[in-house]
Amino acid sequence: DRSVKIAPSILSADFANFGQEIEAVEAQGADWIHVDVMDGHFVPNLTFGPPMCAAIAKHINTVMDVHLMIAPVDPYIEAFAEAGADVLTAHLEAGAHTHRTLQAIRGAGCKAGLALNPATGLEEVEYLLDMVDLICVMTVNPGFGGQKFIHSQVEKVRRLREMIGDRPIHIEIDGGITPETAPLMTQAGADVLVAGSAVFKGGSVSDPAPYGENIRAI
């Protein structure tokens, strides 16, 4: 389905070669580049911060989709916006003042994304619908690539698409996307699929053709 965007997560790329990995995966058909920022506090893993994002941004010709798995979020919004984030996504679970966070993200000139952990219901999303450009439904517990898809989230996405109605809001799915799980989510109403291990497996910057095959298989 051409209207569905594939956003490879560089969490599964070679960390010593992000520039070349991004150029390879874009040449192989990636629509967006998904950048996972982890703080070792909100999630039990560490990746990188704004300086690395700024370096990565120079190699992205599509959309830089920054997923913040950090708490607190607000003190860092300006820095990630300046680093070149096009979409900046914060977790609903990261703080008590999500409305303020989303306002600040838009105020910094980014599209505002809201991510929901698998355990989080949709009730708290209702009064944020006019504040978001994207809702990211996590289909794994955030922190690591290569985890198993949580099937209960298919029904959640179907209900979320109903809630959204004709508002121009993307539904992004993050975690465990494979050629088997992807169609369940696009049928339920998702239009952006993040995929890390399923895109980068079997390829490398010197042999990038598998990236393209993997993207087309999703």
Task: Just list the catalytic residues.
Answer: 36, 174
195 near ligand DX5, judged by CB under 6 A: yes
> 24 is in the binding site of which of ligand DX5, Zn ion, none (Cβ under 5 to 8 A by kind)?
none
Stretch that binds ligand DX5, among 48-56, 160-168, 171-179, 207-215 (CB under 6 A): 171-179
Tokens 């120079």 appear where?
Answer: 58
Sketch the per residue contact string, 45 through 84, with ligand DX5: x for CB under 6 A, - otherwise: ----------------------x-----------------
Q: How far apart are CA 106 and CA 34, in angstroms?
A: 19
The letter for the amino acid at 46 is L
Q: How far is the CB of 66 from ligand DX5 (least distance, A)?
A: 11
Helix (H) or strand (E) holding 172: strand 170-174
147 near ligand DX5, judged by CB under 6 A: yes
Q: Which of 85, 153, 174, 198 binds Zn ion (CB under 5 A)?
A: 174
Query: Which stretches of 28-111 are DSSP H helices?
Result: 50-57, 77-82, 98-107
Tokens 């619908």 appear where?
Answer: 129
Query: Which stretches of the chain are DSSP H helices?
Result: 18-27, 50-57, 77-82, 98-107, 153-164, 182-188, 197-200, 209-217
3-state secondary structure of 27: helix
Considering the complex, state which of residue 67 and residue 170 has its C-beta at the smaller distance from Zn ion. Answer: 67
The letter for the amino acid at 25 is V
> 145 is in the binding site of which of Zn ion, ligand DX5, none (Cβ under 5 to 8 A by kind)?
ligand DX5
Q: Which of 5, 6, 21, 36 binds Zn ion (CB under 5 A)?
A: 36
Q: How far apart are CA 56 and CA 215, in angstroms?
A: 21
146 near ligand DX5, judged by CB under 6 A: yes
Stretch that binds Zn ion, among 83-91, 154-162, 171-179, 210-218 (CB under 5 A): 171-179
Spell out a b/e string for 122-134, using b for 16 or more CB atoms within 10 Å of the CB, else e: eeebeebeebbbb
List, as residue ranges, the binding site: 9, 34, 36, 67, 143-146, 174-176, 196-197
Q: Which residues bind ligand DX5 (CB under 6 A)?
A: 9, 11-12, 34, 36, 67, 140, 142-147, 174-177, 194-198
